[in-house]
Amino acid sequence: MQTQTQAAPAPPILFAAPHRAMFFSGGVMLLVAFVLWAFELAGRVGAVTPLPWTLPPGWMHALLVLAGVFPLFMFGFLLTAMPRWQGAQDVPATAWLPPWRLLVAGWAVAIIGLWIPGLLAVGLLLVLAGWGGVLRVLWRVAFNDNPDSLHARLVTTALTAGAFGVLAWFVFAITGDGVWARVAIGLGVWWCLLPVFFTVCHRMIPFFSSNIVKDYVVVRPRWALGLVLGASVIHGALAMAGFGAMTWIVDAPAAATALWLSVQWRLVPALRVPLLGMLHIGFAWLGIAFLLSTLQGVAALFGHAWLGLAPLHALGVGFFGSVLLGMVSRVTLGHSGGKLVADKLTWSLFLGLELVVVVRVAGELVPPSWSSGVMLASALGWIAVFGLWGTRYLPVYLRPRSDGRPG
């Protein structure tokens, strides 16, 4: 009698590629984080009864968005794209799936810990363990013998700084010392998210544009990469040290460089192709954010408090949010077997997001009595945009590729 060897069962389609699981959980995390924030803002205007958080609401919002939402999407993108940058094989599920489980479990516990004292620290420890597991994979991919590994090494180093940001959040959760929350925010924004987003844009936007825009000349100077990343690191260091009023010194050259890159990368011609134009518009917000920060710092020199959190939200909602929507949509379409074309819904949602950015930035310029209402409107707009985006894209991660290919 012959025995037949049965093939191992195929993994659930959600785990067929790292971008599927990471993007799906990132989309869920995004909606949960902003629904909680919208509920807090609704409480401020008297629409609902405020919830009893275990930490200040503003820091709760920063924690979930900076350490939870954006990193999950970044992990999904980098675990998928970086091996291709490095000419390496795709990352197997055995390497990235255990860290993903830790991240999901950690954020589930941490969110419950927003109401139950003690659980937040436990959840953050799980998140830190999962983050470390992803870093272990990315370091192996980034630091190989490929001579063109600069971008991969930079984003991996930035994500390592982000892990220290999560550690700072953990220390804050167990001590209640607000200094650690400030350090965590500085590390998250200026040493992790901005370097990762800018480095990815520096590599990918000229590459995508060269395949679409007629007579395109690739402009990808390393000096610009070094200048903007250096400015971001110094800005973060000054902010964490309590010298935020001095950041204009590095913000001004960073603004000039980012705006110059927008022109060199040919923003206007790229708008003819919505899927590409989304990335260009999103990148333009980086120059605007640095410019607003510069103006804010100069005004402070003359004793004027101006713009509030407008520069930060031009960066977070404008640059991070717009590039996220554009890049994740592109990766999802390309890795599901579909055409690399933004349909009318996707383009309309992106334009809606740009309106949300304008409303949120303007919310720092209105009278204080209007501020909470404008912030609530922008939060609801964000939820509407990404909620509708989720109905279009999240189901894709639960279906096989339309072209029958694996992944």
Domains and CATH numbers, the chain: 15-398 (1.20.210.10)
CA distance 65 to 71: 9
- Which stretch of DSSP H or E encloses residue 12? none
Q: How confident is the model at residue 337, as a pLDDT?
A: 87
- The residue count for the chain: 407
CA distance 134 to 140: 10
Q: How confident is the model at residue 2, as a pLDDT?
A: 46
- The pTM assigned to this predicted structure is 0.95
Instruction: Give the residue carrying structure tokens 């920063």.
Output: 62
Instruction: Give the residue carrying structure tokens 């590459």.
Output: 207
Task: Mark residue 118 as left, alpha or beta (left: phi above 0; alpha: psi -120 to 50; beta: remaining).
Answer: left
Q: Are 135 and 159 in contact (CB under 8 A)?
A: yes
| Number of alpha helices (DSSP H) and beta strands (DSSP E) in the chain | 16, 0
Q: Are 77 and 200 in contact (CB under 8 A)?
A: yes
Greatest CA separation found in the chain?
91
Write the DSSP symbol of residue 204.
Answer: H
- Three-state DSSP class for residue 277: helix
Question: b/e string for 71-83 if b means 16 or more Cβ within 10 A?
Answer: bbbbbbbbbbbbb
Flag residues of the chain having pLDDT under 50. Answer: 1-5, 7
DSSP class per residue in 152-165: HHHHHHHHHHHHHH
CA distance 229 to 199: 8
Q: How confident is the model at residue 144, as a pLDDT?
A: 85
Q: Which two tokens stand for residue 120?
A: 């937040």
Closest Cα partner for 346 from 279, 265, 262, 403? Answer: 279
How large a percentage of the chain has pLDDT more than 70? 97
Question: b/e string for 292-312 if b means 16 or more Cβ within 10 A?
Answer: bbbbbbeebeeeeeebebbbb
Count Cβ atoms within 10 A of the Cβ of residue 1 and give its class: 0-12 exposed, 13-18 middle, 19 or more buried. exposed
